[in-house]
Amino acid sequence: MALPEYRGKHRRKRGLLRRSFVGMVVKAAFLTGIVSSMSSAQADNLRFSYQSKVRRRRLFSLVRFTAPNATKKRESFGLFGSVEINGGNSRAFRKWQVVLPECDQQLASLKECFAGNLRCAGSVDYWSRIIRGVGHSKSLRQLSLLNSYINESAGYDPQAIAAGQADVWRAPLQFLGFQGDCEDYAIAKYFSLLALGYEEPDLRFVVVKDSRRKVIHAVTTVQFQGACYVLDSLRPVATKEIDLLHYQPLVSMQRDLHFTHFRTAEMRQRFWAQHRNG
């Protein structure tokens, strides 16, 4: 049984329905009288006017829901707004293939250290403290901490030749605590991200041309929460790729995959505009 205070509301609703129904009947009778007093031509004009309004409303609805902006698809871009082609065998990729086995072996030693199966000492201990220091939860803060810690963990070698030339690329344990070039920072970050549990398909080692400094540079990128972040030896925090469009991607690597990149000024502008418009 409904509570007393609700019965009054039910009665009021029924009263409103009765009055609405009576009003509709009276209005219908009134309109019927008007229409019956019209000539046939006037009645036809009235029907034509009503049908025209209906057609206009349908047309407006059709135009509204088929507007070009409503069906426009987002353009697909590669890294830094480029077109990327899978394949190739650049000098950078050959050097990546040389250092890769040693990096894998060192990553395995780091995991053994975490599991307690290997005594953590020396450079392995140093790397493990960096990984533990950034925390276990994947977040933008974790990415920024990792970027900052590795940037501070080694000095920049002023004698090293720019990435892609004849210098030697170092695995993490030969770099952390010592000196190196931009590609050594990028390699250490790539394998540190793997140690933290990031999936390799979301990572890239990227060789870029820095249009501001007019030099070749190397960075690591990671796809995280629907965005691409750049871990850069020149910046203290993880930075979205859209904020680093002065980097022209040349080639990128991912395990045994090699990508060649191409980007025009017009493509860069479209990429920037698409991000600006959301």
- 193 inside domain: yes
Q: Is the pLDDT of residue 18 over 60?
A: no
**Contact in structure between 253 and 205 (CB atoms under 8 Å):** yes
Residue 184 lies in a domain: yes
Q: Are strands 203-210 and 227-231 parallel, antiparallel or unpaired?
A: unpaired
More confident residue, 164 or 240: 240
Lowest mean pLDDT among 67-76, 153-162, 175-184, 204-213: 67-76
Residue 125 lies in a domain: yes
| pLDDT at residue number 8 | 47
Lowest mean pLDDT among 6-15, 35-44, 202-211: 6-15
CA 34 – CA 41 distance, rounded (Å): 14
* pLDDT at residue number 207: 98
Give the 3-state secondary structure of 131-186: HHHCCCCCCHHHHHHHHHHHHHHCEECCCCCCCCCCCCCCCHHHHCCCEECHHHHH
Residue 13 inside a domain? The answer is no
Q: The CATH number of the domain where 116 resides is what? A: 3.10.620.30
- Report the C-alpha gap between 21 and 18 in whole angstroms: 5
In a domain, 25, yes or no: no
Phi first, then psi: give them for residue 100, nearest 5 degrees.
Answer: -60, -50
Q: Is the pLDDT of residue 236 over 70?
A: yes
Tokens 């609405």 locate to 20
**Cβ neighbourhood burial of 118 (10 Å; 0-12, 13-18, 19+):** middle
Note whether residue 107 is domain-resident: yes
CA-to-CA distance for 47 and 107, rounded, in angstroms?
81
The whole-number pLDDT of residue 100 equals 97
Residue 245 in domain: yes
Q: Examine the pLDDT at 80 and tell me if it is beyond 60.
A: yes
Answer whether residue 251 shows pLDDT above 80.
yes
- Region 26-54: mean pLDDT is 52
Q: Which residues contact 110 (CB under 8 A, 6 or more apart)?
A: 124, 127, 128, 131, 195
Q: What is the DSSP letter of 270?
A: H
Q: What is the DSSP letter of 250?
A: E
pLDDT of residue 160: 59
Q: Which residues contact 251 (CB under 8 A, 6 or more apart)?
A: 88, 90, 92, 93, 206, 207, 258, 259, 260, 261
Residue 15 in any domain: the answer is no
Q: Which domain holds residue 146?
A: 79-276
pLDDT at site 1: 42
pLDDT value of residue 167:
73
Q: Which residue has the higher pLDDT, 18 or 176?
A: 176
Per-residue pLDDT at 275: 87
Q: Which pLDDT score is estimated for 49?
A: 53
Number of domains composing the chain:
1
Instruction: Pick the range with the lowest mean pLDDT from 29-33, 80-84, 184-188.
Output: 29-33
Phi, psi of 247 (to 5 degrees): -90, 120
Q: Is the pLDDT of residue 233 over 50?
A: yes
Q: pTM of the entire structure?
A: 0.73
Cα distance from N-terminal residue to C-terminal residue, the chain: 54
